[in-house]
Amino acid sequence: MSLPAGRNYVTAEEISSLSGVPVSALGRDKFPYKELSDIEIQVINKVFDTGLDVIRKVAPSIAGDIAIQRQLAILFAGVAKALMDYKNYSFPSVGAQLGVNWLFPQAVKYNANVPTGYNNDSWDIPITAGTPAYLLGSSTDYYTTSSTPNQRSAILIFNNGLIEVGSTPSAEQFRLISVAKGDYGIYTVSPLVEIPVEPTKSIYQYPTPLGALFVDYQNGVKWYFMPRRSGVSTIKMLGLVFYEHAFASDVLWI
């Protein structure tokens, strides 16, 4: 299967079929799309491989899950390109072009007022047993990426790319909804989540049964869980951020 040449949209079903990866469409049947040039595909592959090589050294089993999502990354790079005026990708990014990098805390919480439970400049989330904790969004607000002109962004969280680091995993119940699809109930993860995915390492992987998640500045989402303990959780999102150069033209601190 391939996309018709020159078409300016792609369906969620086509992305899943072409990449072999389930996608959390959350009520979105279509995404805007602009095909990447060969040079841009090389940029996405370079960034993808750089992060994947590091993950392989630390958590080979997780790296195996991510490695098969290369085509997904390329397709959603095309979606992000269409959302950002068809600018071209470069690495590192330069003025008037698009950048791509692995997700980092300031790409998710890009200013102090962004609705998310994460602390500023950190993958740490304070949690209280029995009180929902928000990865994206809040009890009152949906999460979107940056919509500031010339600083727009979009994020892709890989399928099964939610990783907790620490002595004890924090969650079994999750809920993922959007403005367009707010009627989904919870999903639960494996009852064996307490067992680390790598021998002798306190690394826990949360399945994402709804699939990979793409979030942009137009369609808000909420993604939260019910903590089973109180304290602080370190929960990292494995994925990519696509952005206009001015969004991350220099190192960031909130």
pLDDT of residue 193: 62
Q: Output the pLDDT for position 202.
A: 84
254 lies in some domain: no
253 located within any domain: no
Distance between CA 182 and CA 220 in Å, rounded? 11
pTM above threshold 0.85: yes
pLDDT number for residue 4:
76
- As for how many domains the chain has, the answer is 1
pLDDT along the chain (254 residues), means of 10: 80 97 95 97 98 95 96 98 97 96 98 98 97 98 98 98 88 96 92 64 90 97 96 97 98 96
Identify the domain containing residue 15 by its residue range: 9-245
Q: Is residue 169 part of a domain?
A: yes
pLDDT number for residue 169: 87
Instruction: Tell me, yes or no, whether 251 lies in a domain.
Output: no
The answer to whether residue 152 sits within a structural domain is yes
In a domain, 60, yes or no: yes
Residue 206 lies in a domain: yes
Do you find a cis peptide bond into 207, omega within 30 degrees of 0?
no
User: Is residue 108 included in any domain, yes or no?
Assistant: yes
